[in-house]
Structure 1
């Protein structure tokens, strides 16, 4: 039985898919092209509240739960869960999300600009 307290975020499943994707040839190409480390802070309802933190390391090709431990990430991105999903699926433009306050960025803006839906696996067509 799925319990809502196990994982309050819809993003968890998407990040799990990304973890698998980065082990594929296409995923390895993403790592080669991007080469940045992102700390992702995802909040269920309001940015900065009850955040779940992930590290997406596109230098090593890893996705881990928890803050980045290798120094400072290239960029830290904060989202609400639903906005992260929209951006990852290409339903919301990351720049527009930033301008509207749906995405907060700390660190390198140029690294943050490379965080696009292109780094995520394409959803399977049914």
Structure 2
């Protein structure tokens, strides 16, 4: 089972996000949002074999594993494919939530700031 969770498409997005937060555009996000999100990504089925990421938009860090500084402002659960769609702006986060493709725990006002704008634009091939 472990090998399955090692190949999430989301991993590449999280790597890009790490680099993005060190840029000027990324630093603007920190000023604008200043929240901590925990993102749980399941390879196939919500709640199973999840890989957890912490996206800290206070410090500008993306780390694998649960948030250790208390409670995150909001926690999102996605299937890998759905997370990729939302991060790339191919699926509206509100629509993902209404369809059950995204689950949210925590502050809804914090969750509303979780938009495709916080993700780096994919590099054009």
Normalising by structure 1, report the TM-score: 0.94
Contact 2:5–2:49 (8 Å) recurs in 1: no
- Cα distance per residue 1:49-96 (max 9 Å; x no partner): 000000000011100000000000000000000000000000000000
CA distance in 2 between counterparts of 1:6 and 1:45 reads: 9
Asked if 1 retains the 8 angstrom alpha-carbon contact of 2:5 and 2:50, the reply is no
Q: CA RMSD in A?
A: 1.1
How much does 1:7 deviate? 1.9
User: How far apart are residue 5 of structure 1 and its match?
Assistant: 4.9
Native 8 Å contact 2:40 2:78 kept in 1: yes
- Secondary structure at 1:106 match in 2: strand
Give ranges in structure 2 of 5+ residues lacking alignment: none
Partner of residue 34, structure 2:
35
* Residue matched to 2:70: 71
- State the match for 2:83 in structure 1: 84
Three-state SS of the structure 1 residue aligned to 2:12 is helix
4+ residue runs over 6 A deviation: none
In 2, distance between residues paired with 1:83 and 1:110?
21
Q: Any residues of structure 2 matched to 1:1-126 within 5 Å, and which?
A: 5=4, 7-126=6-125
Q: 1:16, 1:7 → 2: CA distance?
A: 14
- Please give the secondary structure, in 2, of the residue aligned with 1:123: coil
Shift of 1:6: 7.4
